[in-house]
Each structure stands twice: as C-alpha cells, then as structure tokens.
Amino acid sequence: MAYALQQLINGLTLGAMYGLIAIGYTMVYGIIGMINFAHGDIFMVSAFIAVTAFTILAAADVTSIPLALTFVLIVSIFFTSAYGWAVERTAYRPLRGSTRLAPLISAIGMSIFLQNAVQLTQGARVKPIPPVLEGGVVLWDAPGFTVQIGWSQMLIIVTTVVLMLAFTWMITQTPFGRQQRACEQDRTMASLLGVNVDRTISFTFMLGAALAAVAGVMVTVYYGVVDFFIGFLAGIKAFTAAVLGGIGSLPGAMLGGLLIGLIESFWAAYLWAEYKDVATFGILCLVLMLRPSGLLGRPEVEKV
C-alpha cells in the first residue's frame, strides 16, 4: 500500500513532465497538423541550458534556491523559445503547403541535427549537477516503507498545475488564444479575417518550446543528470501521451502524460522494469484501436 502510494507520487511527477512536453506536440499538431519531431530535442537543449545556468550560479556562489530556480527558468525559457522559433522558421515554414511528409522528414533531420550539435558542442558525456533540492516531506511512515514526496517532486507538480491553469486561461481568454484557436480551425479563413497566421504559428512554437524548457529545468532538478540523448525517448513518450489523450486537445495532453507516467512507474515497480516502454506503447496501441482519436480527442467523423 505504502509502496503503491510512493509509485503514485513518482508516476505523477514523471507524468507531469511528459504532459508539459506533450502540450508542445499537441499545440503544434493542432495548428499546422504536423508532428514536430524535433520537439523532444528542443526539450533536451533546454535541459543543457539549465545545466549551464545552474553551473554558472554555483560558480557565482548563489545559494538562494528560489532565486536560482527563477533565474534558470527565465534563461532556459528565453533561449529555448529562440530555438523553437528558429526551428519553425528554417525547417518548417518553407514547407508549409507542401505534402504532409515533407515537414516530417525535415523535422526528423532537425532532430538529428540538434542532437549532434549538442553532442559536439557540449560533449557526449553525461552531465551531473549538484543536487538543487534535496529532501522532502515524509507522508507516511509505514512499517518497512516510508512514503516520501520530495521537494523537487512537489515543485514539479505545483509548477505543472499552475502552468496548466495559466495556459488554459491564455488559450480561452486572451486575444492570442483566440487567434490560435482560429488558426487551428481554418487557417485560410483566419488570415482573411486579419489574423497574422505566420506570427501565431511562430508564437505557438515558442510557447511549446517554453513549456518544454520548464520540463527541461525540472528534469535537471529532479534527476540531476542530463545527456544529449534524453530528448529522443522523452519526445516519443510525450508524443505518445499527446496521441493517447487525443492530439490537438490540451487537457488530453496532460491526461495522456499523467497516464503514461503512472503506467511507467507502476509497471516498472510491479512487473518488469525493462519492459516499461513496451507497456507504454502497448497501451497506446490498445487505446487507439478502441478509440482511434484518443481519450479526449473529438471523434473524427469522416465527412464524405
């Protein structure tokens, strides 16, 4: 029981991070209908930026944790959004309006490029940083097992909840959100009505990258190590989460992320840890077979 509770906490933490990355996939998919394959690598870039920023702070003897976190978040979000913007500008925008596969290939190329660029400039070795947030709160001291929620876990869950709220508010209440939704429904019509489609799409990529940057900082804080390959698996899991939740749906992305996080941690804890990714993909296949448009996606009736 205690063990299960601990897995629940771990799973939620993991899931929150997947969810943050998944939103980037889902938004981009919603607005231009492509899988931004490089999104996982954008996330990886953000984690490296976070490592550098933390190291700078350590060198400057900054000891205030809130201050450090804020600084790192701002720096990482700034640079990562720039990456999100640049990737869209160079690799996807010229391909808008061509076949569906062209931007996908371009995105895969971009993903390979980013991975190798980071490997070349930052080195192939794993980067460890000193623990930022240690310890936590003991929730339940059951006999033989102590259930604990780490400060970093709390940080991740709280940040994710706050971001989700802010995000929902932005999409539903602000002019940008309106333009974003308009572009999702009908890009041509939106542009006729005076929405700057290019800018909206650019901004969507930056937002997605910003959320990935938050996830990148959180991963760095939580695990304390990053390497240039983390983008691939995290990206695939997050995309799986987006599809599971119903691609195009923001709550769906979060729900999918949480589910995948939970499946992974419970499967690893109770069944075979080596096969946790098999479980993830297996469940994805099952869900899609039963509900081809994901859990919260609008069922797509083929208009003939």
Ligand X SMILES: Nc1ncnc2c1ncn2[C@@H]1O[C@H](COP(=O)(O)OP(=O)(O)O)[C@@H](O)[C@H]1O
Point out which residues bind ligand X (CB under 6 A).
301, 303
Shortest distance, position 270 Cβ to other proteins, whole Å: 17
Answer with the entry of ligand X, other proteins, none that 43 interacts with (C-beta below 5 to 8 A by kind).
none
Shortest distance, position 185 Cβ to other proteins, whole Å: 18
Nearer to other proteins among residue 139 and residue 225 (C-beta): 225
Phi then psi dihedrals of residue 97, to 5 deg: 85, -5
Answer with the entry of ligand X, other proteins, none that 122 interacts with (C-beta below 5 to 8 A by kind).
other proteins
CA atoms of 215 and 222, how far apart (whole Å): 10
Among 59, 66, 188, 194, binds other proteins (CB under 8 A): 59
Residue 95 found at the interface with other proteins (CB under 8 A): yes
Nearer to other proteins among residue 48 and residue 147 (C-beta): 48
Three-state secondary structure readout of the chain: CHHHHHHHHHHHHHHHHHHHHHHHHHHHHHHHCCCCCCHHHHHHHHHHHHHHHHHHHHHCCCCCHHHHHHHHHHHHHHHHHHHHHHHHHHHHHHHCCCCCHHHHHHHHHHHHHHHHHHHHHHCCCCEECCCCCCCEEEEEEECCEEEEEEHHHHHHHHHHHHHHHHHHHHHHHCHHHHHHHHHHHCHHHHHHCCCCHHHHHHHHHHHHHHHHHHHHHHHHHHHCEECCCHHHHHHHHHHHHHHHHCCCCHHHHHHHHHHHHHHHHHHHHHCCHHHHHHHHHHHHHHHHHHCCCCCCCCCCCCCC
Shortest distance, position 223 Cβ to other proteins, whole Å: 15
Task: Tell me the Ramachandran region of residue 110: left when phi exceeds 0, alpha when psi lies from -120 to 50, beta otherwise.
Answer: alpha
Shortest distance, position 14 Cβ to other proteins, whole Å: 18
Residue 52 found at the interface with other proteins (CB under 8 A): yes
Answer with the entry of other proteins, ligand X, none that 156 interacts with (C-beta below 5 to 8 A by kind).
none
In DSSP terms, 141 is beta-bridged to 146
Shortest distance, position 304 Cβ to ligand X, whole Å: 8
Among 18, 43, 79, 267, binds other proteins (CB under 8 A): 79
Shortest distance, position 303 Cβ to ligand X, whole Å: 5
Q: What is the per-residue binding string for other proteins in 101-120, x denoting contact by CB under 8 A?
A: xxxxxx-xxxxxxxxxxxxx
In DSSP terms, 137 is beta-bridged to 149
The interface with other proteins within residues 21-50 (CB under 8 A) comprises 29, 35, 45, 48-49
Q: What is the per-residue binding string for other proteins in 138-177, x denoting contact by CB under 8 A?
A: ----------------------------------------
Shortest distance, position 193 Cβ to other proteins, whole Å: 20
**Degrees, nearest 5: CA angle 150-151-157:** 90
Q: What is the per-residue binding string for other proteins in 198-227, x denoting contact by CB under 8 A?
A: x-----------------------------
Residue 128 found at the interface with other proteins (CB under 8 A): yes
Among 214, 243, 260, 268, binds other proteins (CB under 8 A): 243
Residue 274 found at the interface with other proteins (CB under 8 A): yes
